[in-house]
Amino acid sequence: MSILAILEQRAGVWHRMSWETLAAAQQLGAELGQPVSAAVIGSDVSALGGELAAKRLERVYAVEHELLKDYTPDGYTAALGQLIAAAKPRLVLFPHTYQVRDFAPKLATSRERVMVSDVVSHRVEGGELVLVRQLFQGKMNVDVHFQGDPPYFASVQAGAYRADKVAAGSAAMEKFAPELSASAIRTKPQELFRESQRAVDLTAAEIIVSVGRGIKEAENIPVVQKLADVLGAELAASRPICDNGWLPMERQVGSSGQTVSPKLYLAVGISGAIQHLVGMKGAKTIVAINKDPEAPIFEVADYGIVGDLFQVVPALVEEIQKAKG
């Protein structure tokens, strides 16, 4: 019985959240007094497994099969189901990536379990693990307990644990060869691609003015464009604005858009759903203008103004122009 961290790689390159997940697993292992193992999955992962073998782990599983070269939910679920049956972990931990969202609920279902997804923190109470996750787009937190018998499944949110906390050590590496058949893999994945060369590189911007649903309609975009102009900032947006076509997709900040860390990030009418926060919480200074005093954006803001953006933003433009002379 142990903790098993299942890490993510693509074409031999680690997903950055793999290390955060490993740090979380080591931390949980230490607090629960449980040994920690890690697994990496693909067609040839011995080099990556070797890298893991230099971490403080009991065991490293290199799960390899020709049919695991490209990710498919059927292939991954079958392979990892067999690994879990053999290794008998008490807790299986994943990074909460798009890929994990695609297969981990299926894997948990095949074991008659439900994964606690997108965990932001944890604590141990009387030997029992309590996981914290967010509801209502980050407006509420809940404490979640597992019920019934293990294995338990959980995925950790981007940035919830620190990758630089991974402890070094040495671990035995074991090759695990699952039994898979091509006919059981029902989907045929094609090559990855990007839509077009990004014309706007938000990651290079020093100042970003970003706009969310609070702007109400496309006709109001000039209100924030003006603020961006007087600050010499790039204009960015949360997902719904780009979904509606009010600004091009390439100006989107968040988990499905760009990840930025400017000197100043001014969030206007953005409530701060987690998908947005992961893309901008690394900004040096965050300013939030929102009519809802309970909006999650204020949890990460350095400066906040509660008010109607249609009054605050024009006033701000005027004050900035005055200050600049």
Partner 1 sequence: MKIVVCIKQVPARDSLLRVDPSTAWIQEDDLAHEINEPDAYALEEGLQLKEKHGGEVVVLCAGPAAAAQTIREALAKGADRAIHVEEEKLGGFDPLALSRLMAAALQTEKPDLVLTGLQSDDLGYGQTGVILAEVLGLPHATIIMQVEKQDSGIRVKRELEDGWFQHVDMPLPALLTIQSGINKLRYATLMGIKKAKSKEVKRLTAAELGIAQRACIRIERMYPPEKSKHTQMLDGSPKEAAAKLVEKLKFEVRVI
Near partner 1 by CB under 8 A: residue from 145, 162, 165, 175: 145
- Minimum CB separation of residue 296 from partner 1 in Å reads 7
Q: Segment 157-216, which members bind partner 1 (CB under 8 A)?
A: 186-195, 198, 206-207, 213
- Minimum CB separation of residue 221 from partner 1 in Å reads 17
- Minimum CB separation of residue 173 from partner 1 in Å reads 28
Which residue, 2 or 155, is less far from partner 1 as judged by CB? 155
Q: Segment 53-82, which members bind partner 1 (CB under 8 A)?
A: 73-74
Among 226, 221, 244, 210, residue whose Cα is nearest residue 319: 226
- Minimum CB separation of residue 34 from partner 1 in Å reads 19
245: left (phi over 0), alpha (psi -120 to 50) or beta: left
Angle at 214 between CA 209 and CA 217, to 5 degrees: 95
241/116 Cα distance (integer angstroms): 30
Near partner 1 by CB under 8 A: residue from 30, 141, 162, 222: 141
76/10 Cα distance (integer angstroms): 13
Q: Segment 98-137, which members bind partner 1 (CB under 8 A)?
A: 98-99, 101-103, 105-106, 108-110, 112-118, 130, 134-137
- Choose the binding region for partner 1 from 34-42, 48-56, 165-173, 243-251 (rule: CB under 8 A): 243-251
Near partner 1 by CB under 8 A: residue from 44, 51, 229, 308: 308
Which residue, 34 or 99, is less far from partner 1 as judged by CB? 99
- With binding defined as CB under 8 A, does residue 315 bind partner 1? yes
Instruction: Please list, residue by residue across 266-296, b when 16 or more beta carbons sit within 10 angstroms of its beta carbon and e when fewer do.
Output: bbbbbbbbbbbbbbbbebeebbbbbbeeebb
Edge-first strand listing for the sheet containing 128-135: 128-135, 116-125, 152-156, 91-95, 3-7, 36-42, 59-64, 172-176
